[in-house]
Chain A
Amino acid sequence: MSTELTFQTIAQLADALAAGTVSSVELTQAAIDRATAVDDRVKAFNSVNPEDALAQAAASDARRSVGQARGPLDGIPVSLKDVIAVRDQPLTASSKMLENFVSPYDATVTEKLKAAGAVLWGRANLDEFAMGSSTENSAFQTTCNPYDLDRVPGGSSGGSAAAVAAGEAVATLGSDTGGSIRQPAAFCNVVGLKPTYGLVSRYGLAAFASSLDQIGPFTRTVEDAAIMLGAIAGHDPRDSTSFKTDVPDYRAALSEKKGPWKLGIPKEYFGEGLDPEVGAAIEKAIAFYREQGCEIKEVSLPHTPYCLSTYYIIATAEASSNLARYDGIRYTHRSADAQDVVDLYFKSRAEGFGPEVKRRIILGTYVLSSGYYDAYYLRAQKVRTLIRQDFLNAYEQVDAILTPTTPTPAFKAGEKAADPLAMYLSDIYTIGVNLAGLPGISIPAGFTSAGLPIGLQLIGQPYAEADLLAIAHAYDTAHDWHSQRPEL
């Protein structure tokens, strides 16, 4: 029974909570029980806070009992990627550098979820400082794909995706810099939404690459994604890049916004490297939309071949600067045997950071160094503009763009760990969206013959999340992929 509870959707549970057929304490206990039962295998969480979670749940039930329930998220167990600040909870970024750091403040999304009454439960594992595509780069543990424990859950938000897939949380938050929400969502058969850059505040998200990072939800359904986005979106005066806009009722828009839509298929996304089973599933999705009366048009995103290199220049450049604060001076890991201040920097950072983080810091430092800035960073910024323009050109013809989320289903742990370039290719369909600052969503779109989930990606126009969610919702409600669950 308790397991059943945590596999329900926010929408269903909100109704149950409202009807009084379940309490938040029961629901939260179910999530705790489920994590107790499966997390030694899934390893989605870096840490859990059962007592605190139950206290939050009790507070929610108390509110509800006096008629002060706050909306669909009140009492729902939600887990945050361990890179989003929650006051008095650990914030490790899955790095030895922050192993003992407890945040003294709340991220803006955390404040918003608290205000919505969500029960914040568990710190979801990730690739160290959100750098990676497999969650193998965590300093603490490798999260396993609930559909095949030998396989990766994707990354960097692998813990967040796996937690929802394994029924350890009803919804989670992740962060997406180059696909870190959508790629693990595709690998784990859940919905993952990366909002338009600037729609959700980054305040309280330990930065990887400031101009690309965006927080977004993992849920079972598109409807749940709409509920979560409604709770976390909106202008934040503490984030200068936050967009000043009214937040529409995304959930209501799911039924209000009706097609038929014009969908673009970028020819560059259907070439070499695409797994045939993934390709076939996406063809079926295209056929579905066509049957719904949507116009399907081929579009071109000609600068796609440059996305990966552009991304790794901009992301690493920003990361090299953003991660400079982890230096052994204030709150981070400090080497025990440093001789002087420079030695303290060297040793603390050498001991505190893992190999992928070091690789990216070194790369970013190099591309920003004098003499190389123009050739790399400045040039990458120019290409970035062209990549964004490709998308905007396409949107003159279509409402949204449809692609596979990933070229392949989840790969085996260790398979690409020694080959960073092969690993980077798993984000090839998601990276352009971040460079262009657009919203993108991955929704469950079937399984391979080996039972591995396949993700369908829809890419929307800037700040047109309401449209994007409505388009995704049409597919999601017509298929029952999302109600499949892993055997654990």
Chain B
Amino acid sequence: MNYEAVIGLEVHVQAKSASKIFTRVGQGYGHDENTLTDPVVLALPGTLPVMNKAALDAIIKAGLMLHCEIAEVCKWDRKNYFYPDSPKNYQITQYDQPICIGGYVEIELPGPSRNVMGEHKKIPLTRIHLEEDVGKLTHFAHDSLVDYNRAGTPLMEIVTDPALASAEEAYAFLTTLRTTMIYAGISDCDMEKGQLRCDANISIRPVGTTELGTKVELKNLNSISYVRDGIAHEIKRQLALKKTGGEIVQETRDYDGIAGTSQSLRSKEEAHDYRYFPDPDLMPVRVDEAWKARIAAECPERPFEKQQRFMTDYDLPYTITSVLIPDRELSDWFEAAVTIAGRAKAQAVGNWIANDLLRELSAAKIGLAESKVTPPHLAELVGLIDVGTISNQIAREVFNETFASGEAPAAVVDRKGLKDDTDADELEQWCRDAIAGNDKAREQFLGGKDGAINAMKGPVMKASRGKANPKLVDETLRRLLANWS
């Protein structure tokens, strides 16, 4: 029998906001333990939550970016359970009236080869709701310590339908989700800092059936690769169980990304009764059209839409767009350069970014923001090549100078005398010398082997110390060879 996998994801994304979700104390990562607290965070007697509007803005933005319906009214519920990382012993969350309903994440599956776009697929979402994060426990031999710095950080829970079919789809889902969140400035989605966390529910069923099989929940998937590997491992484990007549039990498993193994955390859900009820300390929130419109105006273009536009408007090849698009800063940088250089030179700009700029940034171990080469610089450089002022080869030297010092390309060309100011008579003489001095190449060319002309270009470029315009050299050689006797 053939089986197919059915996967649902629950993704927690920490929203970027200056302060926590229900109080004004700041939020952040890497501070000393229990320094980001106040009476509200510590749930001292008498404290009350007050909604942080910036956190609501963030989730509405996330909802709009992911095609969700934004509820007109959402309310807050208490999820009651005892755990030391939860200061109130209830979590303020949204139960039956989440703020974002439905929606989808458009993903791209790997193409047949690296330079071909893969199939796009829409993964439907059930909901996105907002809740408060909990603190962090550290266990020692005899004690456990709690750090409440993270407690009360705004957390979005993004729940998919059980609609993913493979580990690759889960990987693509998280990659796109992450890119989208970063694009919109909703979250930095740094998994190492716990800003993006994912649990996966996995089951298998015979192909052609619609009923869901027994699901296993996989936890502690703390990198996007581990999500892919963990799901793949779990599907394999379940298939093997089926094959040997074993039984899949409903349980929560812990995936060890380093060892590539998983182990049972707890079997079957303990009968949790969270006793949800509407939080009487918080009023329901009405999201009117004006509010939605304000957030919609702040939403950037979605990554795949931008990619499509780059390919259509700028004639950029898929490979270049797949380098530019995932990094919003980089794609903005590209557009800034093209705006100056002109659309006709978009591909040249893209090539320079994909090949030279990224390579140099990587070698220098710096980010785009620290680059001394600016979009006007690159536009200027591409322009200089286009009008024949410098050759591609010289341009590379100019680029490196600009990258190192920030001096404008034209200025570098002037200062170093790199301009192709070759005298026409001089160039013709170099060409005559090159033709005369290379009998073999000349005979081959005249015999019909076009490529042989390249062997005659070398000496000309050498004589011009690289400054001669290669296009002009080519033309001159061909003109002279045509009349050679």
A binds B: yes
> What is the interface of chain A, defined by CB distance below 8 A to chain B?
83-85, 91, 93, 98, 101, 103-105, 107, 202-207, 209-211, 237-241, 317-318, 320-321, 324-325, 327, 329-331, 341-342, 345, 365, 368-370, 373, 377
**B90 and A239 contact, CB distance less than 8 A:** no
Given A324-B82, A325-B89, A330-B87, CB of A240 within 8 Å of CB of B275: no
Residues of A within 8 A of B144 (CB): 341
Q: Which single member of B51, B84, B280 contacts A210 (CB below 8 Å)?
A: B280
**A-binding residues in B (CB < 8 A):** 39, 42-51, 78, 80, 82, 84, 87-90, 144, 146, 273, 275-277, 280-283
Chain A: CB-nearest residue to B24: A238
In the complex, chain B residues whose CB is within 8 Å of the CB of A105? 39, 44
**At the interface, is chain A mostly helix, strand, loop or mixed?**
loop
> Is B46 a contact partner of A330 (Cβ separation < 8 A)?
no
- Measured between alpha carbons, how far is A342 from B46 in the docked complex, in Å? 25
Q: How far is the CA of A107 from the CA of B281 in the complex (A)?
A: 16
Do residues A84 and B46 form an inter-chain contact, with CB atoms below 8 A? yes
With A105-B39, A341-B84 as known contacts, state yes or no: A317 contacts B45, CB within 8 Å: no
Q: Are A377 and B45 in contact (CB under 8 A)?
A: no
Contact yes or no, B45 A103, CB < 8 A? yes
Shortest B54–chain A CB gap in Å is: 15
Residues of B within 8 A of A83 (CB): 45-46
Of B82, B277, B281, most A-chain CB atoms within 10 Å: B277
Q: Are B275 and A370 interface neighbours, CB within 8 A?
A: yes
Cβ contacts under 8 Å, A345 to chain B: 82
* Sample of 5 A–B contacts (CB below 8 Å): A209-B280, A321-B90, A324-B88, A331-B44, A368-B277
Cross-interface CB contact of A203 among B42, B47, B80, B282, cutoff 8 Å: B47
| CB closest residue in chain B, given A210 | B280
Report the minimum CB–CB distance from A341 to chain B (whole Å).
6
Rounded to whole angstroms, the CA-CA distance of A205 and B281 in the bound complex is 12
* Complex: chain A residue closest to B40, CB-CB: A238
CB <8 Å contact, B277 and A240 = no
Measured CB to CB, the closest approach of chain B to A58, in angstroms, equals 28
Other-chain residue from A85, A209, A240, A342 in contact with B283 (beta carbon distance below 8 A): A240
CA distance A443 to B196 in the complex (A): 59
**Contact yes or no, A202 B48, CB < 8 A:** yes
A377 contacts B277, C-beta separation under 8 Å: yes
- What 6 pairs between A and B have smallest CB-CB spacing? A324-B89, A206-B45, A210-B280, A211-B280, A368-B275, A204-B46
Smallest distance from the beta carbon of A205 to chain B beta carbons, Å? 5
The residue from A237, A325, A331 contacting B88, defined by CB atoms under 8 A apart: A325
Task: For the complex formed, measure the closest distance between the CB of A296 and the CB atoms of chain B, giving whole angstroms.
Answer: 36
- Residues of B with C-beta under 8 A to A318: 280
Specify the chain A residue showing the minimal Cβ separation from B137: A341
The listed residue (B42, B46, B88, B282) touching A91 by CB distance below 8 A is B46
Q: Residue of A at shortest CB range from B22?
A: A240
Contacts of B283 in A (CB 8 A): 240-241
User: Is there an interface contact between B80 and A321, defined as CB atoms closer than 8 Å?
Assistant: yes
Does the CB pair A85–B46 fall under 8 Å?
Answer: yes
Expressed in whole angstroms, the Cα–Cα distance for A210 and B49 within the complex equals 12
Complex interface: chain A residues within 8 A of B44 (CB): 85, 103-105, 331
- A sample of 13 more A-B contacts (CB under 8 A), given A105-B39, A240-B48, A327-B82, is A85-B45, A93-B45, A98-B45, A203-B46, A240-B51, A240-B281, A241-B280, A317-B277, A318-B280, A320-B275, A321-B80, A325-B87, A331-B42
Which chain A residues border B282 with CB–CB below 8 Å? 240-241
Residues in chain B near residue A204, CB distance under 8 A: 46-47
Rounded to whole angstroms, the CA-CA distance of A342 and B82 in the bound complex is: 9
Chain B residues, CB < 8 A from A84: 46
Complex Cα gap A91–B46 (Å)? 10
Closest chain A residue to B23, Cβ basis = A238
Nearest residue in B to A370 (C-beta to C-beta)?
A: B273
Knowing A329-B84, A329-B146, A330-B42 touch, does A321 contact B277 (C-beta < 8 A)? yes
Residue of B nearest to A344 (CB): B84
A368 to B275, CA, bound (A): 5
Nearest A-chain residue to B42, judged by Cβ = A330
In chain A, what residue has the closest Cβ to B43? Answer: A325
Contact yes or no, B89 A327, CB < 8 A: yes
Output the nearest chain B residue to A326 by Cβ-Cβ distance: B45
List of A residues within 8 angstroms of B90 by Cβ: 321, 324
Verify B48–A238 contact, CB threshold 8 A: yes
Give the chain A neighbours of B82 by CB distance below 8 A: 324, 327, 342, 345
* C-alpha gap A345/B46 in the complex (Å): 21
A370 to B275: give the CA distance in the assembly, Å. 6
Min CB distance A321 to B, Å, is: 5
A365 to B90, CA, bound (A): 13
Contact between B280 and A369, CB atoms less than 8 A apart: no
| Cα A207 to Cα B280 with chains together (Å) | 11
Collect the chain B residues with CB atoms within 8 Å of residue A321's CB: 78, 80, 90, 275, 277
Bound complex: CA of A259 vs CA of B47, how far in Å? Answer: 41
Residues of A within 8 A of B39 (CB): 104-105
Measured in the bound complex, the distance between the Cα atoms of B51 and A318 in whole Å is 20
**Among A241, A317, A377, which residue has its beta carbon within 8 angstroms of that of B281?**
A241
Q: Nearest chain A CB to B73's CB is how many angstroms away?
A: 15
Closest to A332 in B: B45
CA distance A237 to B23 in the complex (A): 11
Give bound CA distance, A107 to B46, whole Å: 7
Q: Which residues of B sit under 8 angstroms from A369, Cβ to Cβ?
A: 273, 275
Instruction: Give A129 Cβ to nearest chain B Cβ, in Å.
Output: 9
Write the nearest CB–CB distance from A113 to chain B, whole angstroms: 15
Nearest-neighbour CB distance to chain A for B96, whole angstroms, equals 11
When A105-B44, A369-B273, A370-B275 are in contact, do A324 and B84 touch as well, CB less than 8 Å? no
Q: Is the CB of A365 within 8 A of B45?
A: no
- The reply to whether B43 and A206 form a contact with Cβ atoms under 8 Å apart is no
Most buried by A among B45, B47, B84, B88: B45
CB atoms of B46 and A238 under 8 A apart: no
Q: Which residue of B lies closest to A318 (CB)?
A: B280
Residues of B within 8 A of A203 (CB): 46-48
Please measure, in the bound complex, the distance between the C-alpha atom of A107 and the C-alpha atom of B44, giving whole angstroms. Answer: 11
